[in-house]
Structures are given as C-alpha cells and as structure tokens.
Amino acid sequence: MNEAPDWHACAAIVEKGDPFRFRAAMAAPAAARAVLFPIYAANVEITRAPWVTQEPMIAEMRLQWWRDVMEEIVTEQDARRHEVATPLARVLSKKGAEALDALIAARRWDIYKDPFEDEAAFTTYLEQTSGGLLFAACDALGAADFEVAKDAGYAAGLAGFFQAIPALEDAKRVPLLDGRADAIVKLAQIGLERLKRARVGRTKLAKAACISLAHAEPILKQAASHPHAVGDGRLDVGALQGSFRLSKAALLGRW
C-alpha cells in the first residue's frame, strides 16, 4: 500500500461522508491536505460506526477497533494495514491519538438512545468529539492549544449538532435535555461566546485545520435568532456565503 492511494482513498471517504470538511480541506494548502484527509477520514469512519448496525455490541466492537488503532499509534506499534488507519498513523501524534481516543469514547453515546445525563455531559461530548478532532488536526499540522481547540470545537460541534437534531429525533434519540426555544437560544449564545473566546487565541491553532470552523458562527446566530429553525431542519449556510466564509478562513485565517 503506497502513500498516494492512501491519500486519495481518505479524500474519497471524506468527500462522500463529510462534504463540508472535504471542501475545507481542499481549501487548505496541498501539503496540509495530506495531513487533514487521513484525520477527517478516520472521523468519518468513527462517526459512522454507531449508525451502521442496530446491534449495540457490534457498534461497540467497531469503535473498539478504532480505539485499538489509537493505542497502536500512542505506543508506536507498527500500523495495521488499512486504507485509513495506515496513513493516519503517519500523520497523527501521540497527543492527537489520545484526543481521538477520547473522541471515540464519547461516540459511544451515539450507540444508545439514552439522553445525556446532564448539561455537563453534553458539553463534554462536544468538546471531545468536535474539539478533539480539531485539536488532533491542529497538532498534526504543528500548532495546537488544547483549551482554544476545546472552545472552538464546542462552537463548531454545537452548530453541527443543531443541524443534526431532526435526523436524531427521527432515529428516536433525545438530542437535547431541554428542547424549548429559550434553552436553544441560551445554548447558541454559549456557543457564540466560546467561539469569540477561541478567536482571541486563533494564532495558537493551525490555520489550515481551522478552515472547518467557517460555518459555525452563521449557524449559531441562526439558532439564537430563530430557535424553531433547529427542530424544523432549516439551519443552513447558503452556497455563496459558504464559499466566501471558507475562502476567508483559508486566506486570512478569519473564522
């Protein structure tokens, strides 16, 4: 398995499974893409694992397979031959693998239909999933601050979670402990505050990895202004605005 097919295989997985991050990675410099695509592809595979089966035990086994991959990277074992795991091991640091391991553990919530225990559990879920992914990508590119990544990741993760709520409800999940309009507005405002705080430390994060944050602000602002749009599935960033924000993030590092 040589490097070029691995890179293209990862890009194809991201293009199909996470079109927005595919566009964000394609807006990054070519050298950064070779780092971002294996990490984003791993995230696609991990995120998908709880949803490809109705059997919780099988889903747990799929997630455990990826936890084993992270352990191999942390302990510097030979990478297993896999279209994503092999190139991932080439770019991911030990700290990045530890962050993705925490991401995988958080994704166990997706297997079951129980609601989050409390608001703190929901916050941790967003910080470990979206925040952990951002940290791993930034760290692999040479500039990562865990606290800044947690803030920015929380904001981006909340925006994505808001967009996923109709699908989660269709799947008989309980995505929010309080789905009332006032509670959604409060959550969106927290997300915007954490995004603002993260911007103060934006130079501590790799610019190419932060292109994926480009849509967080407009989605959170929509949720804060029109909370009923969350449940209706009407949160969206138009094609023109979306392209502009991606370009601004890529060229200026402004998100």
pLDDT per residue as tens digits for the range 161-218: 999 999 999 999 999 999 999 999 999 999 999 999 999 999 999 999 999 999 999 9
Going by C-alpha positions, the residue among 176, 171, 156 that lies closest to residue 230 is: 176
Measured between alpha carbons, how far is 65 from 7 in angstroms, rounded to an integer? 21
| CATH class of the domain at 3-252 | mainly alpha
Residues belonging to the chain = 255
Measured between alpha carbons, how far is 18 from 21 in angstroms, rounded to an integer? 6
Whether residue 248 contacts residue 210, with contact meaning beta carbons closer than 8 Å, is answered with no
Over pLDDT 90: what percentage of the chain? Answer: 95
Whether residue 132 contacts residue 153, with contact meaning beta carbons closer than 8 Å, is answered with yes
Question: For 92-145, how does the pLDDT look when each residue is reduced to its tens digit (9 = 90+)?
Answer: 999 999 999 999 999 999 999 999 999 999 999 999 999 999 999 999 999 999
Measured between alpha carbons, how far is 131 from 43 in angstroms, rounded to an integer? 12
Domain edges within the chain: 3-252
